[in-house]
Each structure stands twice: as structure tokens, then as C-alpha cells.
Amino acid sequence: MKSKHRIFILMTLSSLFTAHSTSKISIHSELWGQKEGKEVRLYRLANAKGMEVEITNYGGIVVSIKTPDRTGRIENIVLGFDNFTQYEKQNSPFMGAIIGRFANRISKAEFFLDSVRYPLVPNDYPNHSHGGMKGFDKVVWDASEISRADCVGVALQYLSKDMEEGYPGNLKVKVRYVLNNDNELRIYYEAQTDKPTILNLTHHSYFNLTAIKKNILEHDLTIYADSYTPTNSSWIPTGEIAPVAGSDYDFTQPHKVGERIKNLPHGYNMNFVIRKSSNNELSKAAELYDFQSGRFMEVYTTEPGVQLYTADYLNGSIIGSGNVVYGKNMGLCLEAQHFPDSPNNPAFPSTVLRPGETYAQLTIYKLSTR
């Protein structure tokens, strides 16, 4: 990670915490459960415009995002569960979680770094996916509250020990969720290691701007990407970077999510190469709009890619918040990330982190109405 990128992220965080408003904004926490001798807490963030975000330190999970529609009605727009026990036992789809150490897939559950082979847990046999059997989505993070005049948040920390799930290095990870009065949920990531390792963190909320009243196939989606990384049948990139033009993956102009999904046997589950003028700049990755509610979401990130996943593998076997059945296409993910299987594709942007370097990235989900 280049030092000037780290400085940009840290300066952005510092400026965010500078008071610009005296509007009412609040944070509240409560005990939500216990796991491995640690408290699992639920944090409720609220801003002056009626937006609320609930976050738990179990898995760094965003439990709910409540935001107004065009009439002012405040409703939840992400898939999740009502209690900690459900997350612990039923969250195989990674709803709302922080994913690490490595988001997405690593082929054949192995990578080479400095000529050393590192075998990983093949939890998506024969490949490795989303950090292994016990990734960052299944651990209890240390948490503290962030409270400023114009923003509130939760600061999470976790020490991933050397060789956890096969990854080298003791990795110190910090994730800060920050809600401000501009209806932005900002996610700041930072990490350091004591051995050369690889790292690719992301956030895995399933969004549904209808407040989960219907599926997401009528959502209008724009992705600011002129190319994508095609995959084989196991979702492993072929190494090619292909143009989206003329394909079912062209969202350079708004398209209904369901407009061409019938052409794809398993829906959308693809990494897009975000359009950037320079590496690591904060740029717009995507826009999502629901005409019925008027809700509009913008996604910004410093990451080079974003994964679109339309939840085609949800099959109705999971009952979520408010006893809603989570079936196919009930949400979609826009996961800011480095490319899948980057360690095994030298042409992809590097995910290597070395001692003395700082991993830093910022992703923003901004809500409004039209």
C-alpha cells in the first residue's frame, strides 16, 4: 500500500471527525450475546436525518440500515436476522459481515509468496473462499464507540494470528464504521502484519431498496466499470480482463438488474474493474435505484474492483428479520474489493502486504431519494 494512499485515507478520517454541525446524532449499545467468553454487543447509530444503522461486533456485521423513502417512511434495506443466535447458526451467506483475510476465492486453496507455498482451508472445495472455515465474519471483534458532533461510529479491532486459516503473519486489523449527517455509511479499513502476507477485505451486505418487500430484479443498477474479470464454472477468474461492451455485464448505463439475468444460469456473481484515473483514488463504483420507494444508493471506494452478487443461491431455506423468507434475488451485494484469486494472477493488482506497510482502504455507501 503506497504511503500517499494511507495518508489520504487517514486525512479523510480526520476531516470527517472535525465538527461541522450541531445536529442531533447518537449512538447506543446493548448486550446482545456471549461467545468464547466475550461480549457480543449491538450498536445503534442514528443521524439527524432519520437514518439508523445497527452493527454488531460479531463478524463486524451490519444488522440493519434504516433509511427514509421519498415519503419519509423509514425502513430497513439490508438482509439480516433478528438476534445473535440466528447470525451464529444461519449466516452461511455472510449477510452484512466483514470478509477476511481474503474476500472471494483463491484457486486450489493455495498461493505462493516469496517462493513459499501456503495451503489454505479448501472450504469451497477445491478452492478457498471468504477467509476459510472461520473467517473474520465469525469472530468477536474488540469494539469501542466513536462519537463526534457530526458523526458516530464503531471502531473494531481484531488480531488474526500467524497461520490462522493458513495465512502467514500476525495481522492487526482495524475497521471503523462511521455514520454522518450526509447519510453516508463510511467503512475505513486498516491493517499491519509482522510477516509478508496477502489481504483483501470487503463488506458483504445484501441490499434491497424496496425494504425487502419484493426482490431486486426491478432495481436500476449502474456500475462504473468498462471491463470485468471473467470466471470459470467455479467462479475462479481466467486471468482475462474483458470489456463489458456488448455483454450481459454492461452496466455503464442504468439497467434493470433482471433485464438480462435470465441469460446467466446462476445470475450475477462477477468482479468488475472500476473505472479510475489513478490507482487507489476514491471513485464512484456503482449506483442503485428503486423507483417505487425512491431510494437511491451510491457506492464509492478506493478499491480497484467491485463484486456484484445477486443472491441466486438463496433458496428460501433461510428465514430472516421479521420472518421474511429469503429466496432467490431478495438482495444484491456490491462488494468493494481487490480481484478474486489475485495472488495467483500476477497481472491483477497486488494484494501483498509486508511488514512496515499499512493496508488502508475506504468504502462509502451513501443513501438518498429521488
CB-CB contact of 342 with 200 (8 Å): yes
CB-CB contact of 339 with 229 (8 Å): yes
CB-CB contact of 43 with 141 (8 Å): no
Q: Which of 204, 219, 287, 303 is catalytic?
A: 204
Q: Which amino acid is at 196?
A: P
* 335 belongs to the catalytic site: yes
Place of cell 470478509: 99
CB-CB contact of 174 with 95 (8 Å): no
CA angle 307, 7, 148 (to 5 degrees): 85
Place of cell 423513502: 69
Q: Which three cell numbers stand for residue 126?
A: 477445491
Cα separation, 173 vs 177, in Å, equals 13
Q: Which of 164, 165, 190, 335 is catalytic?
A: 335
Looking from the CA of 327 toward its CB, the CA atoms found within 13 Å total 5
CA separation (Å) from 236 to 35, 307, 342, 345? 34, 13, 10, 11
Q: Which amino acid is at 105?
A: R
* 184 belongs to the catalytic site: no
> C-alpha 274: how far from its chain's center?
15
Cα separation, 252 vs 224, in Å, equals 6
In the three-class reduction of DSSP (H, G, I as helix; E, B as strand; rest coil), residue 144 is classed as: strand
Residue 140 contacts by C-beta under 8 Å, 6 or more apart in sequence? 35, 36, 38, 39, 40, 57, 58
- In eight-state DSSP terms, residue 182 is T
Place of cell 493455495: 110
Q: Which three cell numbers stand for residue 281?
A: 483514488
Phi, psi for 89 (deg, rounded to 5):
-100, -20
Positions annotated as catalytic residues are 204, 335
